[in-house]
Amino acid sequence: MSARVQSESFDLGAELSGFGAGAGAIVTFSGLVRDEGGRLVALEIEHYPGMTEKALAAYGAEAAQRFGLSDWRVIHRHGRLAVGEPIMMVATAARHRQAAFAAAEYLMDWLKSRAPFWKREIGPGGAGAWVEARSEDEDALSRW
Amino acid sequence: MSARVQSESFDLGAELSGFGAGAGAIVTFSGLVRDEGGRLVALEIEHYPGMTEKALAAYGAEAAQRFGLSDWRVIHRHGRLAVGEPIMMVATAARHRQAAFAAAEYLMDWLKSRAPFWKREIGPGGAGAWVEARSEDEDALSRW
Amino acid sequence: MAVDVLYFAWLRERIGQPRERIETRAATVRDLVAELVALDEWHAAALSDLAAVRVALDQELADLDAPLAGVREVAFFPPMTGG
Amino acid sequence: MAVDVLYFAWLRERIGQPRERIETRAATVRDLVAELVALDEWHAAALSDLAAVRVALDQELADLDAPLAGVREVAFFPPMTGG
């Protein structure tokens, strides 16, 4: 049961070692930097130190209670992340698969629209546009 | 894009190394042997050699097409698996998280009720009951 | 014609063997089941409740009314519990 | 009272600084925005379209009509794009 905000990379396999012991179902999500057809070389991720950690821990605890998770983990990076690098991950452990899937999707929907991170595109020529929030991401929250 | 049936264990982290390169979203599910409150020491999993491999490959290919996956992997074990060991995993890679989540859940729903595996409980005293199919698992298929 | 008939999980245990070769004139799976049930008490016990039995023909799921023409391998088993 | 006002992403860039200390008598976030907009053209540009601005009070998401009494840190930023 932990939330981390960090600039260093992480290894999904290493993070999962020992995760969810005793559970029947483990779901993970990881988000990676896409090159958007060659338009991007990296993303620069800004965040709100202090609030970020609190928000991730709060959403994790909420998901744990709502879906009866036996374990959960959230890691989100900030700073400059090259194409192909992991941006973040969530992992959820529960008795059955439905709860583990639902909790991972719930966490992702909250992180996308309610955790204080902002992505900026970095192209071959340097810093580009701030990524705009997608209305689908906002809409996704309404299902919970 | 691969399906495997094997008696050996596998390491989720190792399986994901290089998986889904170029994708933005990776979802994994892994199922582990639960001890059911101390009632079990292992599961024995029987399967239908020949049909199993075909079924897993077919469901994977179907999910890839339906959800636009850039990569997928299914591994399912058979034989005697001790409590805490991984039973199976699916991994899906797509551009966005919705497709990756939906494809992983779709694959799990198919594997649970349509792939030729049968689980038997092994208690401290030896072989016990065959696990009965859950009506929720059958119902889960109807949503697709 | 001759078909290989395979059994899995508790059907295999009740019948006492994992496979057998059967000479049959059955037109459908249901007809074949009737012939098997008539063989002995073990087949009868295993195949008594068809709601609990699933069928594959040449390794593809099928239903009880599927035709057997050209089929080489018929498998009977309980509802699957993978994943 | 004095509050620390923080800006992130393009709001930070338009305003030209990540934080500032503001003496204010504003009762709500909306009142504070009005005072900030009156400061100079950069604040006005950053805070012109409030539909595109999100607010946190002491690191908790809040809305524009939330009261400022007792608040020490106010943050303005665009819709979040984590994950």
Question: Using one digit for the tens of pLDDT, what is the confidence trace for C25-57?
Answer: 999 999 999 999 999 999 999 999 999 999 999
Question: Which of B118, B138, B141 would you mutate first to test chain C, the one with the most C CBs within 10 A?
Answer: B118
In terms of CA atoms, which chain C residue is nearest residue B47?
Answer: C8
Residue type, A5: V
Which pLDDT tens digit goes with each residue over D24-44?
A: 999 999 999 999 999 999 999
- What is the distance between the alpha carbons of residues A35 and A128, in angstroms, rounded to a whole number? 13
In angstroms, the CA C80 to CA D29 distance is 59
pLDDT band per the 50, 70, 90 thresholds, residue D46: very high
| Dist CA C50 CA C67 (whole Å) | 17
Query: CB within 8 A of C64, min separation 6: which ones?
Result: C28, C29, C30, C33, C50, C55
Single pTM value for the model:
0.95
Chain segment B79-128, per-residue pLDDT in tens = 999 999 999 999 999 999 999 999 999 999 999 999 999 999 999 999 99
Interface of chain B toward chain A, CB-CB under 8 angstroms: 11-14, 16-17, 20-35, 84, 95, 97-98, 100-101, 104-105, 108, 136, 140
Q: Out of D6, D61, D82, whose CB is closest to A112?
A: D82
Question: What pLDDT is attached to residue B18?
Answer: 87
| pLDDT number for residue A55 | 97
CB contact under 8 A, A120 and D9: yes
pLDDT at C68 over 90: yes
Residues in B closer than 8 angstroms to C77, CB to CB, are: 48, 116, 118
pLDDT averaged over 10-residue windows placed end to end, chain A, 144 residues: 96 90 96 95 98 97 98 98 97 97 98 97 96 92 92
Q: What is the CA radius of gyration of chain B?
A: 15
User: Is C59's Cβ below 8 Å from some Cβ in B?
Assistant: yes
Q: Determine contact: A120 vs chain D, CB below 8 A.
A: yes
Query: Does the beta-carbon distance from C79 to B117 stay under 8 Å?
Result: no
**A32, A119 contact by CB (below 8 A):** no
Measure Cα distances from D41 to D3, D9, D16, D32 in Å. 21, 18, 11, 16
Domains and CATH numbers, chain A: 2-142 (3.90.1170.40)
Which long-range contacts link B8-11 to residues 24+ away (Cβ below 8 Å)? B8/B77, B9/B77, B9/B85, B9/B86, B10/B75, B10/B77, B10/B86, B10/B89, B11/A13
Please name the residues in contact with B141: beta carbons below 8 A apart, sequence gap of 6 or more.
Answer: B109, B110, B113, B114
Question: What's residue A17's pLDDT?
Answer: 87
Report the amino acid identity of residue B125. G
Looking at residue A95, its pLDDT comes to 96
